[in-house]
Structure 1
Amino acid sequence: MTTAITLQQGFTLKNGTFIKNRLFKSAMSEQLSDAQHNPLPGLATLYRAWALGGLGLSITGNLMVDRNALGEPKQVVLDEQSDLTEFKNWAKQGSLNGTQLWAQLNHPGKQTPNFINKEPVAPSAIALTNGLEKGFNTPRALTESEILNIIGQFQTSAKLAKQVGFTGVQIHGAHGYLVNQFLSPRHNQRDDQWGGSIENRMRFVLSIYQAIRAEVGGAFPIGIKLNSADFMRGGFTEEESMQVVKALADAGIDQIEISGGTYESPTMTGHKVKKSTLEREAYFLAYAEKVRAITDTPLVVTGGFRSSKAMLSALKSNATDFIGLARPMSLDTQLPNKLMASDEHAISLPNLTTGVKAIDRMAMLDITWYEAQLARIAKQQQPKANLGTWPVFFKTIYGAGIYAFRKRRA
């Protein structure tokens, strides 16, 4: 065990990329695109604030690789139809102050609401459950040619990310999106080379990684966000996840961010997390400790961290190399600087509810309330810790309704 490690300490990836400290902003949904799914100028403002706040590595919210497959209404798309002007400004501002800024690349698969996409695609024609079937249509199974095309879309988006000035990319392989759907035996019941055994189910993510690597070269970092498990009966298990980690590490992936859960079982937001886990603050640290035994690929643990003390403890245990922060960053853009300045600094998050559980679930308050904070920062306003939940609910419903209407007319 090393005891000299600090949050301020730099880290050099195996490919030579230097990250100035151990504080990592995990991806959050920003919902800050224009009607053509290009970045609004506010994204550059938001990421500039985070860069000046002291982050070592910042990951963007989902950049979708297919503009016909969106997970949310106002997501940014990076493809050959994109206007790259504002992407370049975003990359420039977000990488100020020596900050690494990586673009997270994603495809939602079946996790696309039915007001956005009437016919989603997935490895197999299996619907989402746990009440989500009302808002998400049963998907159509992808053909092999479509699978190969999506791999090519990830490759193209990575090429463009490098071109506009992002300093790396991260593949989103967690939270029930398409890469995770391929990995899950619950959602992938194919009988061809893309399904069945874990070796076949991981073929999709390995193919994406290899296609991106061939495009961007060895000096450009590629990371992945991967589920430790889906936390669902019949889903992607911890044992399978460790096999995927080993395969990606052997293939040369530069960094692995550990998360867990899906829309059906949202463990990544603290849903049904054990008390003992909450006390450590890090939701997935125990899994990271197991992964450390099988690979020396740099690891990030995201989810639950609130204090300098817990972050330092996690680093000193050698279970993780970086501390992933998401929702706390929406309430204090200077949080990294404060954490590094004091071993006693901590931040608390509000318990969000309208008082009606069904409304809370419908509005996805654990996401949309924080999106509202990001919108404030993007307008150069301060976050508002006492922001009301009902206004957020009505704004969410209004925004979705307008978007749904526009899509029906298009």
Structure 2
Amino acid sequence: MNPLDQPLTLPCGAVIKNRIFKSAMSEGLGEKGGAPKPSLAKLYRIWAEGEIGLCVTGNVMVDQRALGEPGNVVIEDERNLASLRFWAEQAQLNNTHCWVQLNHPGKQAPKGLNRENVAPSAIPFRKDMQAFFETPRELKEEEIWEIIDRFGKAAEIVKKAGFSGVQIHGAHGYLVSQFLSPKHNQREDAWGGSPEKRRKFVVEVYRSMRKAVGHDFPVGIKLNSADFQRGGFTEEESLETIRVLAGMGIDLIEISGGTYEAPAMVGSKASQSTLEREAYFMDFAVKVRKSVDVPLVLTGGFKTYQGMAGAIESGDVDMVGLARLLAIEPDAAKKLLQGKNPSQIIQKVKTGFGPIDRMSVMETVWYREQLERIGEGKGPKPNLSAFWVFLKYMFRFVFKRKGVWKERAS
């Protein structure tokens, strides 16, 4: 029997048809007001037709004033409910689950995109990134509670729109991840100063969302195994956070790692032995499995059917997370469910411009271009020039920033 082609029942009772998990990628296919474009629904329909068990959407922001990238979908209220319903309907054809990943970027947003960026503490990025990311303003306590409420409200709308679940983005250096990290959270009040206090934000976000959707609706989280930064979020802190969330009834935990400053999620920190084993964070997943009984997804590094099937057969994880592969081979799941390897192999995206490549920004931008092509009916283009995509992105970003400046002036 193919271990990837087995159903999975979550603690809330929901059943996922197989063990292939499309991890979140930022699509950049939102309208100016935050509504999903029709091409986004078409993209997810193609993935649903490709036999994926569970698709998680890319960064859906909970605040129009706090975008992580140009073109984010935003859910603040019900103004875009009709287009959200159409997206949910298309994404869940073929008995596919589709969960919305809810996020707030905190300080991890490019300069000029938002009026201001906020974070747990006013900690700047490392020096070589300060030209791209500004030093944030520290959040006030009342603002923290407002953001928590926004996560709950957005989850309520996600359920009303007909999606089958919701995921908290607690990884990759965004706001939830910033609160968890002693490097980025240097507060000395109820929200920082100890691992327990730094966990308070994600705990309250989960409570807010669970209250909004009830106990029979799936709620998951994407969480770093570690930040891979000196003084950052450690494996020990991550493991304790997972224990706490599992005890509260979370349905699915996706393990990843890294931030924009230390992008382990794209393999930049992986050892040769890890690359040969395929899964970047398998050692940590084994520790989690020994500690809790919550369903686990492992994302990062998988390339072959044998690697994915072996991860499931080991019992250490319950689903295998794929992202970049599905941007250049949308129907790869069909081959995997037949016991075959995907046709495409993931390569590091490089422009040749050192500062950009070191941040791994192109790992977002280049694949976003592929998603846009699929949504427009063109199909992916695996040999697309990274430098050309970078120039296109910069042109769009400058144009967007001019629009922001014009709005401010008026």
Q: Give the structure-2-normalised TM-score.
A: 0.97
**18, 21, 28: which one aligns with 1:21:** 18
Give CA-to-partner distance per residue, 1:323-347, whole Å, 9 cap, x none. 0000000011111011111244563
Q: Does 1:386 align with 2:383?
A: yes
Residue among 173, 176, 184 paired with 1:176: 173
Indicate which of 226, 237, 246 corresponds to 2:243.
246
Out of 66, 74, 78, the position equivalent to 2:75 is 78
- Partner residue, 2:154: 157
Question: Residue 287 of structure 1: which of 284, 288, 301 is its match?
Answer: 284
Deviations 1:131-168 (A, max 9, x none): 22222111111111111100000000000000101110
Counterparts of 2:336 and 2:347, CA distance in 1: 19
Q: CA deviation at 1:355?
A: 3.1
Query: What per-residue deviation string (whole Å, max 9, x for no partner) do you get for residues 49-81 of structure 1?
Result: 000000000000011001100111110101116
The structure 1 segments of at least 4 consecutive aligned residues displaced by more than 4 Å after TM superposition are 343-346
CA-to-aligned-CA distance 1:188-240 (integer Å, 9 cap, x gap): 11111111111111011010101111111000000000000000000000000
Aligned partners of 2:29 and 2:71 also within 8 Å = yes
Secondary structure (helix, strand or coil) at the match of 1:162 reads helix
Equivalent in 37, 48, 51 of residue 40 of structure 1: 37
For 1:352 and 1:344, the matched residues in 2 are separated by 22
- Name which of 295, 298, 302 aligns with 2:295: 298
Distance across 1 between alignment mates of 2:138 and 2:7: 44
Alignment-derived partner of residue 69 in structure 1: 66
Question: Residue deviations 1:82-110, cap 9 Å, x none?
Answer: 32221111000001000000000000111
Structure 1 counterpart of 2:258: 261
**Following TM superposition, by how much is the alpha carbon of 1:356 offset from its aligned partner in structure 2, in angstroms?**
3.3
Residue in structure 1 matched with residue 209 of structure 2 by the alignment? 212
Q: State the alpha-carbon separation in 2 of the partners of residues 127 and 345 from structure 1.
A: 41
Deviations 1:246-273 (A, max 9, x none): 0000011000000000011011011121
The residue that corresponds to 2:186 in the other structure is 189
Matched, 1:231 2:224: no
Q: Distance in 1 between matches of 2:358 and 2:228?
A: 19
Aligned mates of 1:138, 1:333 — CA distance in 2: 38
- 1:344 and 1:144 mapped to 2: Cα distance? 50
Code of the aligned partner of 1:152: D
**Does the CA-based 8 Å contact 2:335-2:341 persist in structure 1?**
no
- Secondary structure at the aligned position of 2:276 is classed as helix
Is it true that 1:112 corresponds to 2:125 in the alignment?
no
Q: CA deviation at 1:358?
A: 3.5
The alpha carbon displacement at 1:279 in A equals 0.5
Q: How does 1:301-312 map to 2 (within 5 A)?
A: 301-312=298-309
Inter-partner Cα distance in structure 2 for 1:372 and 1:57: 22
**Separation in 2 of the partners of 1:130 and 1:307?**
38
What SS does the corresponding residue of 2:345 show, helix, strand or coil?
coil
User: In structure 2, what residue type is equivalent to 1:147?
Assistant: I
Which amino acid in structure 2 is aligned with residue 388 of structure 1? S
Q: CA RMSD in A?
A: 1.4
Contact 1:107 1:177 in 2 (8 A): yes
Paired residues, what number?
Answer: 407
In 2, distance between residues paired with 1:139 and 1:401?
21
**Could you tell me how far apart the structure 2 residues matched to 1:249 and 1:346 are?**
37
Contact persistence 1:363–1:397 (CA under 8 A): no
Cα deviation, residue 368, structure 1: 1.1
In the aligned structure 2, how far is the partner of 1:203 from the partner of 1:350? 38
SS at match of 2:204: helix
Shift of 1:112: 1.4
SS in 2 for 1:44: helix
Write the deviation string for residues 351-379 of structure 1: whole angstroms up to 9, x where unpaired.
42233324545782211111111011001
Distance across 2 between alignment mates of 1:362 and 1:5: 38
Secondary structure of 1:257's counterpart equals: strand
Please say which of residues 52-61 and 387-396 is displaced more in the overlay.
Answer: 387-396
TM-score (norm 1): 0.97
Are the equivalent residues in 2 in contact too, given 1:307–1:347 (CA < 8 A)? no
The verdict on how the C-alpha distance between 1:257 and 1:363 changes in structure 2, with shifts beyond 3 A counting, is closer
Instruction: Give ranges in structure 2 of 5+ residues lacking alignment.
Output: none
Match for 2:59: what amino acid?
A: N
Cα displacement (A) at 1:405: 0.4
Using the alignment, how far apart are the partners of 1:213 and 1:363 within structure 2? 34
* Alpha-carbon distance in 2 for matches of 1:183, 1:356: 32
User: CA 1:362/1:275 → structure 2, altered by over 3 Å: closer, same or farther?
Assistant: closer
The reply on whether 1:122 has 2:119 as its aligned counterpart is yes
Any conservation in 2 of the 1:363–1:396 contact (CA below 8 Å)?
Answer: no
| Unaligned ranges ≥5, structure 1 | none
1:346-361, aligned counterparts within 5 Å? 347-361=344-358
Distance of 1:16 and 1:367 partners within structure 2: 34
SS in 2 for 1:117: coil
Q: Which SS does the other structure have where 2:298 is aligned?
A: strand
Identical-pair percentage: 50
Distance across 1 between alignment mates of 2:255 and 2:123: 26
Q: CA deviation at 1:130?
A: 5.0
Q: 1:325 aligns with which of 308, 322, 337?
A: 322
Question: Once the 2 structures are TM-superposed, how far is the Cα of residue 129 of structure 1 from its aligned partner?
Answer: 1.4
